[in-house]
């Protein structure tokens, strides 16, 4: 009975309908070449700085993350644009692909993150609050990634050369090109923050806005819409199938009383909540080496959330904390998906260089984990103001 009932129960959640809508928005924008516009716009503005093209990669990744919700799509999209451009400009391959792999990871944290939607549907925490709570940590992480690039350029200046200074006309063109993307991002995230529409409605509006943007760029057509819808259906089905399978596992875990036993174990251990959260962080980092991000969320959240919620941990903060920890797994072998995506689209690029290039950015992720533990308001302040 559980095998038939639990998958249906887990998938009938209205909030999960946001996933295919946001994925569709990302697929349309991907085929409209908005990543090229985002990267070239930031590269024009930031190019004269040492490492300017790498900063542009982080800026473009942040912007595309805010309209895609997928780390893998983010890394693939930026990799096809920024990778060849930075290599041609003389950037080291390690800085080039390390920054792309790390920047791609912003897609799992920056709203409209698919991971946050899944966490919200599993825990019952408001997805709108999770989206709002993810904004500041995502922007802070982008700044930390930029700090890594700055230090890299200072230590190894030959790895991060300066670009040419843009003319006033080129700067104006870059700003004009970026404006529609910022407008779409503001429409989707601002509407959620102001309570004008739900995340699911935001996904529908975002997909419609993406189609309008593609039409304005003369990229919209029946073939393009069909390809976008097919890709969105495939990816969404994979995600929902994982959730359905995990629902059965969660049911078995509940029947065995694992959650209650874990709660009693934590109570008997008499350790501080900070130490407990640090141990959980270590567990996620280890599991992230071997388990894909969505699977890790659906397998662990039903067990951990009731225990930590009973211990007084804020649900929004916990969601952001878990997603940041899972993001570490995206750029660490042997399962790091962003690493393999970049290897698959970069002819002649060695996996060794991609991995070594990504390692310094792990420091930024661990730094954000520490900041979230020390200052939980980073994730809870904006939701409390909404």
Q: Which of 36, 19, 58, 83 is nearest to 346 (CA)?
A: 83
Tokens for 28, please give them.
């349309």
Please tell me what DSSP assigns to residue 197: S
Mean pLDDT for the stretch of residues 153-181? 87
Residue 20 Cα to chain centre, angstroms: 16
* HSE toward the beta carbon, residue 5, CA cutoff 13 A: 5
Render pLDDT for 331-347 as a digit per residue (tens, 0 to 9).
888 878 888 888 887 76
Distance CA 312, CA 277 (A): 12
Asked if 75 and 53 touch (Cβ cutoff 8 Å), the reply is no
Distance CA 379, CA 324 (A): 11
What pLDDT, on a 0 to 100 scale, did the predictor assign at position 15?
76
What pLDDT, on a 0 to 100 scale, did the predictor assign at position 361?
96
- Residues 43-64 as b/e (b if ≥16 CB within 10 A, e otherwise) read bbbbbebbbbbbbbbbbbbbbb
What pLDDT, on a 0 to 100 scale, did the predictor assign at position 386?
66
**In 194-292, which residue ranges form alpha helices assigned H by DSSP?**
199-216, 222-256, 258-269, 273-288
What pLDDT, on a 0 to 100 scale, did the predictor assign at position 4?
63
What pLDDT, on a 0 to 100 scale, did the predictor assign at position 261?
66
Render pLDDT for 98-145 as a digit per residue (tens, 0 to 9).
999 999 889 889 988 889 998 998 888 999 999 999 999 999 999 999
Distance CA 299, CA 186 (A): 33
Mean pLDDT for the stretch of residues 39-44? 87
Mean pLDDT for the stretch of residues 228-238? 87
How deeply is 229 buried, as exposed, middle or buried, from its count of CB atoms within 10 A (0-12, 13-18, 19+)? middle
Q: Which of 23-27, 33-37, 106-110, 364-368 has the lowest mean pLDDT?
A: 33-37
Residue 258 Cα to chain centre, angstroms: 30
What pLDDT, on a 0 to 100 scale, did the predictor assign at position 258?
62
Q: How confident is the model at residue 9 (pLDDT cuts 50, 70, 90)?
A: low
- Residues 248-257 as b/e (b if ≥16 CB within 10 A, e otherwise) read bebbebbeee
User: Could you tell me what percent of the chain has a pLDDT over 70?
Assistant: 91
Distance CA 376, CA 55 (A): 27
Per-domain residue ranges for the chain?
Answer: 2-385
What pLDDT, on a 0 to 100 scale, did the predictor assign at position 1?
58
Indicate the pTM of the whole model: 0.89
Q: Which of 112, 36, 44 is nearest to 77 (CA)?
A: 36
Above 70 in pLDDT, residue 263? Answer: no
* More confident: 282 or 5: 282
The overall longest dimension of the chain from CA atoms, in Å, is 68
Render pLDDT for 61-105 as a digit per residue (tens, 0 to 9).
998 888 777 787 788 888 888 888 888 888 999 999 999 999 988
Distance CA 342, CA 337 (A): 9
Distance CA 43, CA 58 (A): 10
Tokens for 202, please give them.
């935001």
Distance CA 131, CA 139 (A): 13
């Amino acid at each position: 009975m559980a095998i038939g009932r639990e998958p249906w129960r887990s998938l009938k959640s209205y909030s999960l309908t946001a996933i295919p809508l946001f994925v569709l928005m990302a697929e349309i924008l991907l085929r409209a070449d908005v990543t090229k516009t985002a990267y070239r716009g930031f590269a024009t503005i930031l190019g004269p700085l040492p490492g300017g093209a790498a900063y542009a990669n982080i800026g473009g990744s942040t912007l595309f993350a805010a309209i895609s919700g997928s780390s893998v799509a983010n890394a693939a999209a930026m990799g096809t644009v920024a990778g060849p451009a930075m290599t041609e400009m003389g950037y080291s391959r390690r800085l080039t692909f390390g920054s792309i792999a790390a920047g791609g990871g912003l897609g799992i944290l920056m709203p409209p993150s698919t991971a946050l939607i899944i966490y919200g549907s599993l825990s019952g925490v408001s997805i709108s609050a999770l989206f709002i709570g993810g904004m500041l940590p995502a922007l802070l992480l982008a700044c930390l990634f930029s700090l890594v690039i700055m230090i890299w350029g200072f230590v190894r200046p030959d790895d991060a050369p300066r670009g040419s200074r843009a003319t006033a006309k080129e700067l104006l063109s870059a700003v004009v090109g970026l404006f529609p993307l910022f407008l779409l991002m503001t429409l989707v995230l601002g509407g959620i923050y102001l309570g004008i529409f739900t995340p699911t409605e935001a996904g529908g509006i975002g997909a419609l806005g993406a189609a309008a943007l593609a039409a304005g760029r003369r990229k919209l057509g029946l073939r393009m819409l069909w390809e976008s819808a097919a890709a969105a259906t495939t990816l969404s089905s994979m995600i929902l199938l994982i959730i359905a399978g995990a629902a059965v596992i969660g049911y078995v875990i509940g029947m065995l009383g694992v959650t209650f036993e874990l709660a009693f174990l934590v109570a008997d251990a008499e350790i501080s909540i900070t130490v407990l959260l640090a141990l959980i962080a270590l567990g996620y980092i280890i599991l992230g080496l071997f388990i894909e991000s969505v699977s890790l969320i659906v397998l662990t959240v039903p067990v951990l959330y009731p225990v930590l919620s009973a211990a007084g941990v804020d649900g929004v903060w916990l969601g952001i904390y878990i997603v940041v920890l899972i993001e570490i797994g995206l750029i660490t072998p042997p399962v790091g998906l962003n690493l393999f995506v970049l290897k698959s689209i970069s002819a002649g690029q060695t996996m060794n260089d991609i991995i070594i290039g990504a390692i310094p950015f792990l420091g930024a992720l661990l730094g954000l984990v520490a900041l979230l533990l020390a200052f939980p308001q980073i994730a809870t302040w904006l939701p409390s103001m909404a």
